Structure 1
C-alpha cells in the first residue's frame, strides 16, 4: 500500500463530509482526480474503503480502520510542520475551529482578528456546527477546538469558559408581543418568523425546539445574518430570535422591541472544548490561550 498525505487527507475529508465531491472541494481537487485517487487506494488495499449510495459515502470496516490511522498520520504531519516552523520564526500551521452560531457571529470575529494579527503564519479553518456535533467532532479529532453552548454534555473533553450571552425575541414596535417583558418560546410560535438560512446551527436548533413543542416555525424569510433578521423584523415581516448582544446593538439604529425568553436554554454560556490542552499543536494551543484571554 502506498498512500500519500493527499490521499489520506482526501479520504478523511470525504468521510467527514459524507461525499467524495465535497471532499474533493475541501482538498482543492477535481472530482475526477479525487475519485481516481480513492479507487487507487481501494485497489492497492484489495478491499473497498467506502460504501457509496445516493445519500453519499460512509466508511466500510476497512475504511474506519484507515480513518483512525489517517487522522493520526495527518496530525503527526501537522505537528512536524509546526515544530519545524518554530525555526522559521514562530508558530505556523492551520487550526480547525468549530463554533455554534452565537459564538461565530457575535464573539469570534473580534477575537480571531486579534489572534491572526499576532500570528501571521497561522490560518484558521472555521466552520459553523451544532454544539452537540462539535463535541463529537472534537472528541474524534476531526477538529482541534470547539466552542459550544454550556448546556451540552461534553463528556471527557477539557473545557474553558469563553463568553456569556442570552437569546431574546425581537419584534416591530407595533407587534402584539412588543409590550411583553418576557415570553416563552412556545408563545412566539403563534407568529410569523424571520430566521437564518437552513444551514445555520441556530436555525436548526430552533426548528428542533419548535418541533418538540408540536408547533413548527412559520418561517417567512431566511437570511444570512442576525443584523439582516433585525432589519426585516423592524419592517414587520415577523419576529426573530437573536443574541442579546445583537439586539442591544440593533436598537440603537432600528425601531425594535426586545423581549426576554424565559426558557432555560435561552441563557448561553459559551465554552471552549478541546481533547487535552497538552495534546494540541502549538498554533492551536496559542489560539485557545488567546480566546481565553
Structure 2
C-alpha cells in the first residue's frame, strides 16, 4: 500500500486531538476535506481506523497501530529532509558576526547552536574582535552584527543585550570566602592567573588600569576563559572574569570588584544595511542572554 504523507500527518493530528474537526484545524483543512482523507485511509487499510462518537473519535486497534507507525515515518522523513538539506549550498551570503572574547565564551556558542539548527538556509562567519575594531567593521559594512561593550561610542543602531560586569573568582573556601566585594588594588596583592596579553579582556583592563596600577604576580597566563576558570577553580590563583561566565559554578567563590570600571554591559550593534538574517540571529543572541 502507498500512503500520502499529508494523510498520515492529518491522521496523527486527529489521533492526538481526539477529533477530526480539531485535526483539520491544525492542518488548515476544511472539515469535509479532512473527513474524506480519513475515509480514504480507512478504505485503503481495509479496516476501520476510528470509532466516531458524538464528542469526537477514538482509535481502533488498527488505528492506534497506524498512528504509531505514522509518527515514526514522519519523524524519519524529517530526519531525511534535514540530512539532505545539510548538503545544500546556501543561496545567501554568510552572516558576518563579530564579538569579543567574553561573548565568545558562552553567549555566542549557545545562540549559534539554536540559530544554525533552526535556520539551515543560513551560514555564519564568526570573528573575535575587540569592541573598537568591531564597531569599525560594522560601520564600514564589513560585518553585519556585533556583540560589543557599552563603552565605545557609535552612531550605529544598538540595543541592550546582557550584563558583562567583571568579578574576582577563587577556589571555594579560599581567599575570597565571606567577602562581599574587593578592590583591584587588594586583588593585585594575591597570586593571580590571567589571560594572555593578546586577549581582548586583558587589553581592555590594561587600558583602564593605566600605568600606575599595582603590578600583579601572574602564576600563569592562558589563552581561553575556560582554562582560566578551570585553574581558578582548582586553587591556582585568583582570576578576574565576566560574571556571566561563572554564575553556574558552585566550586568557586565569586566576589564583585569595587572599581567602577568593572561594571560593563554587552550591546548588540547592527550594520547600517544588516540583512534580515542578521536580525534573526540577533533574536537568538537575546534568547541566549536571557537563558
SS of structure 1 residue aligned to 2:94 = strand
Deviation string, structure 1 residues 222-246 (Cα, Å, up to 9, x no partner)? 2243332222123332210122232
- Displacement of 1:177 in angstroms is 4.0
Contiguous gaps of at least 5 residues in structure 2: 1-87
Instruction: Indicate whether 1:125 and 2:119 are aligned.
Output: no
Query: Of the candidates 248, 269, 272, which is equivalent to residue 268 of structure 2?
Result: 272
Corresponding residue SS for 1:125: strand
TM-score, normalised with respect to structure 1: 0.60
Residue aligned with 2:235, SS: coil
- Which residue does the alignment assign to 2:205? 206
> Is the CA contact 1:164–1:270 (under 8 Å) kept in the aligned structure 2?
yes
| Contact 2:195–2:225, Cα closer than 8 Å, also in 1 | yes
Measured against aligned partners, the alpha-carbon deviations of 1:195-222 in whole angstroms (never above 9, x if no partner) come to: 1233321122123334444323432212
Looking at structure 1, the residues matched to 173 and 211 of structure 2 have their Cα atoms a distance apart, in angstroms, of 29
Q: CA RMSD in A?
A: 2.5
Are 2:276 and 1:282 aligned? yes
**Aligned pairs (5 A) from 1:182-201:** 182-201=181-200
Q: Is the 8 A contact 1:101 1:202 kept in 2?
A: yes
Q: Does 2:230 correspond to 1:231? A: yes
Per the alignment, residue 148 of structure 1 pairs with 148
**1:285: Cα distance to partner?**
3.5
For residue 261 of structure 1, what is the aligned residue in structure 2? 257
Q: Is the 8 A contact 1:159 1:273 kept in 2?
A: yes
Equivalent residues of 2:105, 2:245 under 8 A apart: no
Question: 2:211 & 2:172 partners in 1: Cα distance?
Answer: 29
Q: Distance in 1 between matches of 2:122 and 2:180?
A: 45
Instruction: Give me the whole-angstrom Cα distance separating, in 1, the residues matched to 2:216 and 2:134.
Output: 25
SS in 2 for 1:250: coil
Choose 1 or 2 for highest CA Rg.
2
1:248 matched residue in structure 2? 247
Partner of 2:165: 166
Shift of 1:187: 2.2
The alignment's TM-score, normalised by the length of structure 2, stands at: 0.61
